[in-house]
Amino acid sequence: MDIQPFTEDQYRAFLALVDDEIRPPGAATHVWEDFPLILAEENRSQMLGICDRGRVVAGVAFLVRQFQTSCGPVPVAGIGSVVTRPENRGRGCSRALQEAVLQRLDAADVPLAVLWTDRPEVYRGRGFAPAGWEFHLGLDSLSAGDGWPAGFSCRPSTPADVPALEALYRRHPYRTLRPAGDAARLYAMPGTRGLVATGQGNEVVAAVFCGKGSDFPHYVAEWSGPCGLVLPLVDEARQRHGVRHLLVPAGGERLAEQLVQRGATVAARASGLWAVVQPEKLARYLQSAGHGAAADPGDPAAVLGTVGGDGVIVPGALTVAVWGLDSV
């Protein structure tokens, strides 16, 4: 059985396999609706499978994007949809696929890879470790805000808002550099609900988005705009959509501070399971930006920082941020 990209028919079979294995029974959405970029037809060249007589028995997908980091743009691969048919498990399919992806990323000069899983122990032996950091805010004890500043109001987002939303998102210092078309797909995921703040002339000046597809419906996964307008949007999201949590990636500390002042609880967590694919190339990014080298350039925690056992952030040589809608 060879590892190879999917044919069109095998791609459809892979989507069905991912849907069966990842989405819970009775889910309101399909997996390709919740992950519209990594599982898109145009990303098929970045999906690999193991087939037996043409039948897909295991597969994986990855998506490469430029991330705006503390060292400027750096290519990062998100790895997701690692699945194996139940009858083929225990035969090394997942390991072989992950190794094949890392080899491809190495050949393509992609220095970093990240994934998310409920079973991190499966990936530790392949170079993946918890690294980076983000804040998760609990909003159950959040005190009431002061309401809307004069001249501003709130409404649900619409497809016509996408250009303004893209402009707001680009103000974040650390983010994915989304190619044209990415934002429209992400904001339109079934189950994802957006609220925007508008000012004079109905101009969109801030936004919050709840959920990622049908996943994490009570989480604000992305927000943009001045804190003075994001805060009342968070209050609206709590009232309208039952939001209970909010994600703050690196670079958004000011919002976290203001929410904590109003009674929100806060916990720092790793931003994902990361692997350093090309330590030497990553060292060159750091050097060109005038940063010092990581103590161990092959250790994700040394490169990206980590969250210590006491919950305190230990900075690394490189700062990255993964917004909730960009996770794969």
Read off the pLDDT of residues 216-243 as tens digits, 9 standing for 90 and up.
899 999 999 999 999 999 999 999 999 9
CA distance 105 to 112: 8
Q: Is 32:214 a contact under the CB 8 Å cutoff?
A: no
pLDDT of residue 293: 77
CATH of domain 3-132+271-326: 3.40.630.30
Q: Is 94:45 a contact under the CB 8 Å cutoff?
A: no
Q: Is 319 a residue whose pLDDT tops 80?
A: yes
Mean pLDDT of all residues in 110-129: 86
Looking at every residue in the chain, the average pLDDT score rounds to: 94
Mean pLDDT of all residues in 255-278: 97
Q: Which of 205, 201, 177 is nearest to 67 (CA)?
A: 177
Backbone phi and psi for residue 184, each to the nearest 5 degrees, phi listed first: -60, -40
- 1 pLDDT band, cuts 50/70/90, is low
pLDDT of residue 187: 97
Question: From 1.10.510.10, 3.10.400.10, 3.40.630.30, 3.40.50.1370, which CATH number describes the 135-269 domain?
Answer: 3.40.630.30
Mean pLDDT of all residues in 4-22: 94
Q: How far is CA 124 from CA 78, 107, 120, 275, 295, in A?
A: 16, 22, 6, 9, 20
Q: Is 57:85 a contact under the CB 8 Å cutoff?
A: yes
pLDDT of residue 260: 97
| 65 bridge partner residues | 76
Burial 2-16 (b: 16+ CB within 10 A, else e): ebeebeeebbebbbe
pLDDT of residue 125: 73
Q: Is 196:161 a contact under the CB 8 Å cutoff?
A: yes
Taking every pair of C-alpha atoms in the chain, what is the biggest distance, in angstroms?
66
CATH 3.40.630.30 maps onto the chain at 3-132+271-326, 135-269
Q: Is 86 a residue whose pLDDT tops 70?
A: yes
Tens-place pLDDT, residues 154-192: 999 999 999 999 999 999 999 999 999 999 999 999 999
Burial of 291 from C-beta contacts in 10 A (0-12 / 13-18 / 19+): middle
Tens-place pLDDT, residues 19-57: 999 887 778 889 999 999 999 999 999 999 999 888 999
